Amino acid sequence: MSSRRIHLWSGVILAIPMFIVGITAVFIAHDKSLGLKDLPLSWLPMSYEKENELRSAAQTGDGQLWFGSKYGVFRQGADGQLQQRSEVEVRQLLGEQEQLWVASKEGLYLIDGERMEKRLDAEVHGITRLQDGQLLASVKDEGALLSRDGLDWQPSPLNAALASVQSASPKPYTFGKLVMDLHTGKAFFGKSGEWIWIDVLGITLALLGLTGVWIWWQSRRRAAL
């Protein structure tokens, strides 16, 4: 087999992986806006095993034991078996009297009996009750938020001090970080513009794969005539 034919068939074989990588890169870049990450595909025979990843545990005043993981909130029933209460991705649990606060990727929730209400629409990493009675939530990109009733949240006065302390001793920029920023496009467009880099490269790869197969198919048709 000549080197030209080896090159041709290698391109045809790699066209499918290139197309898959290109299209999936675009989907990954827009998974939140398109809501594709948790879209169920019940028609596929495949499944995946969930990791045993316990992230938090708490006990409410009524003796109810709760567990939080990446896959939801679970409570121990009277028979000792665990029952799933919610599917939110848990960061931390806080038990108070007969209520349970759930800090999660999807927001801050309050479970009271059979009711579950969202009290803060943001990615919450932690929740605690201060001595003065206020709730303090650690929120992604917002810092510490305070609330007395769990409904009205205000930035903590400590946010400015926290930002100042952290900026006073910045981590050095490493080679590994540079490689990752170049790979994701953050080095060119910033964190909020990574999708531009991913879309351009993803669509380019997909088009190269499709056009490569098309050119090969056309050449085969001409050769058969």
Beta bridge partners of 74: 67, 84
DSSP 8-state code for residue 49? P
| pLDDT tens digits for range 29-52 | 777 777 776 677 776 676 656 667
CA torsion angle 45 51 56 60 (round to 10): 50
DSSP 8-state code for residue 63? S
Assign domain 60-168 one CATH number from 2.60.120.620, 2.120.10.30, 3.40.50.150, 3.40.50.720. Answer: 2.120.10.30
The structural domains of the chain, with segments of one domain joined by +, span: 14-35+171-216, 60-168
Residue 214 Cα distances to 12, 15, 24, 211, 217, angstroms? 10, 10, 21, 5, 5
pTM over 0.75: no
Backbone angles phi, psi at 143, to 5 degrees: 85, -145
**What does the pLDDT read at residue 46?**
64
Contacts of 216 (CB under 8 A, 6+ apart): 8, 11, 12, 15
**What does the pLDDT read at residue 150?**
92
Concatenating the DSSP letter of every residue in 127-186 gives EEE-TTS-EEEEETTTEEEEESSSSS-EE-THHHHHHHHHHHSPPPP-HHHHHHHHHHTH
Q: Please return the burial class of 222, using the count of CB atoms within 10 Å of its CB with bins 0-12, 13-18 and 19+.
A: exposed
Most confident of 47-61, 79-93, 178-192: 79-93
**What does the pLDDT read at residue 9?**
67
Split at pLDDT 50, 70, 90, the class of 167 is confident
